[in-house]
Amino acid sequence: MLKKLFGLGKKEEKNGQTQEVIFAPISGELVPLENVPDPMFAQKMMGDGFAIEPSEGVALAPVSGRVIQVFPTKHAIGLKTDSGIEILLHIGLDTVNMKGDGFTSHVKEGDYVQVGDLLVEFDLELVKANATSTITPIVITNMDAVKDLHKETGLETVAGQTLLLTLKL
């Protein structure tokens, strides 16, 4: 609540624009969204962002905000920041076919999370064995709210700590 009241987690720039930052939700290797082996993500049909090849089965909140959706199969979560940015975290590709097997959600729709809060644990080996890919896209689904986006590149990510996107709203 204090974050919302005092605007912590976002910065006001000199020209009055709001800036939002997005951290890595998963530890692993940063992958350009264009390299995700799924045209829905690679062609940015759902929005712009980045992807991570996970090194462990833990997904943390990349932003502070409200959980707006937890898919019944627990492989994807939607978040909305206080400034209105909507983010989709989609663990692996074709993981919907796993029907929730190997996924444990630690949040529910309506929860308020802080950067680094635990969202989902997943069995990385089970995802490797049963999904098309473990690559995890993280996209901004309402890009119309973003005036400018700066992406970090070529990083090994640490969940909840590595800054990956800076947005001007």
The percent of residues above 90 in pLDDT, for the chain, comes to 87
pLDDT of 151 over the 50 cut = yes
Left if phi > 0, otherwise alpha if psi is -120 to 50, otherwise beta: which for 109? beta
Residue 154: pLDDT band with limits 50, 70, 90: confident
pLDDT of 150 over the 70 cut = yes
pLDDT of 61 over the 70 cut = yes
Residue 164: pLDDT band with limits 50, 70, 90: very high
pLDDT of residue 161: 94
pLDDT of 128 over the 50 cut = yes
**Domain spans in the chain, listed from the N-terminal domain onward:** 2-168
Q: Round to whole Å and give the CA distance between 23 and 166.
A: 9
Q: Round to whole Å and give the CA distance between 167 and 22.
A: 8
Q: Round to whole Å and give the CA distance between 134 and 151.
A: 21
pLDDT of 9 over the 80 cut = no
Kindly report the average pLDDT of the chain as a whole number: 91
Fold topology of 2-168: Glucose Permease (Domain IIA) (2.70.70)
Average of per-residue pLDDT across 64-73: 98
Catalytic residue among 75, 90, 106, 150: 90
Higher pLDDT, 12 or 112: 112
Average of per-residue pLDDT across 116-142: 98
Active site (annotated) includes residue 90: yes
Helix (H, G, I), strand (E, B) or coil at 61: coil
pLDDT in tens, 13-58: 545 678 999 999 999 999 999 999 999 999 999 999 999 999 999 9
Average of per-residue pLDDT across 107-125: 98
* Burial of residue 91 (number of CB atoms within 10 Å: 0-12, 13-18, 19+): buried
DSSP string, 24-44: -SS-EEEE-GGGSSSHHHHTT
Average of per-residue pLDDT across 56-69: 98
Q: Round to whole Å and give the CA distance between 20 and 9.
A: 7
76 and 90 Cβ atoms separated by less than 8 Å: yes
Place of tokens 């932003």: 63
